[in-house]
Amino acid sequence: MVGGLTLVTASALLLAGCAAAPEEDTDTTDAASDFIPCMVSDAGGFDDKSFNQLGKEGIDKAAAELGVEPILVESAVETDYTSNIQSLIDQDCSLIVTVGFALSTATVEAALANPEVEFAIIDDAADNDFDGTTDAPNIKPILFDTSQAAYLAGYLSAGISETGVIGTFGGMNFPTVSIFMDGFKQGAEHYNEVNGTTVSVLGWDGADGSFTGGFAAGTEAQATAQALIDQNVDVLLPVGGPIYQSAASAIRDSGKSIALLGVDADVYDTDATVADLLLTSVRKGIDVATYDAVLAAGNGDFDVTPYIGTLENGGVGIADYHDYADKVPAELDTAVQDLKAQIISGEITVSSYLAG
């Protein structure tokens, strides 16, 4: 699903309507005041410095603009998803945003049982029967083809590697995780093709690889990172919320010069404790896409057409190099920017489960 839909709010139309018919202004205000935007986090919580936090920032911004108060519920474990969603339905939420593919089943079940409630889900197509369509007519999927941005990061990483070995690992082998790893591997392979090099990518073979079994920082994530460090990687891409924190600990314990890549947010800005290790981050515009969806719903313009973030629409990208800027040769940065243009133009196709 390359390409995407940019949501256009109805703010201008509402303002124009008020100017033409002042008597309708009260109705518009009442409608806005009746709108209740709500969100359920994944198990990482809203302070994960990653996709839950970005989703919260998006709904908070839209709610402030609409002049309403959002209702936010954190999930501690997977068994919380259904009850958390139901609690928001019981509070008469107008729009419920669920954060993460793990909430897909609970979201679909709730949407089918409550057709009057609008839903949006981040990082999932809500297509649990895999027939190519969303399983409920009142769910808007918010998706990101991060393989495109990860391709740039893979090329960049291969270009700065001194050991000729770069690595990646994830929380669990789900499409929304492996899509980063797919792009990373393809980008490094393209670097080899262009430059006649043999940089190896460890941790992902295109179908399987290194996974921690969950999305929490801890001993398993650190051990997984350490196993890759022991194989001489000098650039490391952890994919799965806060597991990057464990990777950073492993890097520091190793005493080696190893660059870290962030995902979802620009981790340099969200987590100062690892900023000095970061080469860049593979970003998803979760905050912007969530803001657009909530604002549209609040203005009566809810649209279930899936949003797919790409390089072309700015929904995905790589962050600045920040402290690594002096270590990235100008010609390498130029090549990365050229690759971005070639992906946008279609000259280069990045394979992923969302492509096509």
Task: Indicate the residue type of 153.
Answer: A
Kindly state whether residues 235 and 262 are assigned to the same domain: yes
Kindly state whether residues 155 and 265 are assigned to the same domain: yes
6 in a structural domain: no
pLDDT tens profile 2-50 = 333 333 333 332 223 333 333 333 343 454 569 999 999 988 788 877 7
Nearest CA to 277 among 319, 321, 232? 321
pTM (predicted TM-score): 0.85
Nearest CA to 339 among 146, 145, 149, 144? 149
104 in a structural domain: yes
Kindly state whether residues 279 and 290 are assigned to the same domain: no
350 in a structural domain: no
Kindly state whether residues 236 and 338 are assigned to the same domain: yes
Give the domain range for residue 330.
148-283+321-345
24 in a structural domain: yes
pLDDT at 356: 55
> CB neighbours of 95 closer than 8 A, spacing ≥ 6?
35, 36, 37, 38, 117, 118, 119, 120, 293, 294, 297, 298, 302
Kindly state whether residues 179 and 124 are assigned to the same domain: no
Nearest CA to 257 among 333, 188, 163? 163
Kindly state whether residues 133 and 105 are assigned to the same domain: yes
pLDDT at 267: 95
Kindly state whether residues 341 and 208 are assigned to the same domain: yes
3-state secondary structure the chain: CCCCCCCCCCHHHHHHHHHHCHHHHHHHHHHHHHCCEEEECCCCCCCCCCHHHHHHHHHHHHHHHHCCCCEEECCCCCCHHHHHHHHHHHCCCCEEEEECHHHHHHHHHHHHHCCCCEEEEECCCCCCCCCCCCCCCCEEEEEECHHHHHHHHHHHHHHHCCCCEEEEEECCCCHHHHHHHHHHHHHHHHHHHHHCCCCEEECECCCCECECCCCCCCHHHHHHHHHHHCCCCCEEEEECCCHHHHHHHHHHHHCCCCEEEEEECCHHHHCCCCHHHEEEEEEECHHHHHHHHHHHHHCCCCCCCCEEECCCCCCEEECCCHHHHHHCCHHHHHHHHHHHHHHHHCCCCCCCCCCC
pLDDT at 45: 82
100 in a structural domain: yes
How many Cβ atoms are within 10 Å of 257's Cβ, its own excluded? 11
Nearest CA to 18 among 32, 38, 36, 8? 32
Specify the number of domains making up the chain.
2
356 in a structural domain: no
Site of tokens 């690892």: 274
Kindly state whether residues 97 and 186 are assigned to the same domain: no
Kindly state whether residues 140 and 156 are assigned to the same domain: no
Nearest CA to 240 among 106, 21, 8, 52? 52
Mean pLDDT by 10 residues, the chain (356 residues): 33 31 39 85 82 92 96 93 97 96 95 98 94 95 97 98 98 94 98 98 97 92 98 97 95 97 94 97 94 96 96 96 96 98 97 84
CATH assignment of the domain containing 93 = 3.40.50.2300
Kindly state whether residues 86 and 176 are assigned to the same domain: no
Kindly state whether residues 130 and 165 are assigned to the same domain: no
pLDDT at 32: 56
* Inter-helix orientation angle 330-345/175-195, to 10°: 120
353 in a structural domain: no
Kindly state whether residues 220 and 133 are assigned to the same domain: no
121 in a structural domain: yes
pLDDT tens profile 96-148 = 999 988 999 999 999 999 999 999 999 999 999 989 899 999 999 999 999 99
pLDDT at 341: 98
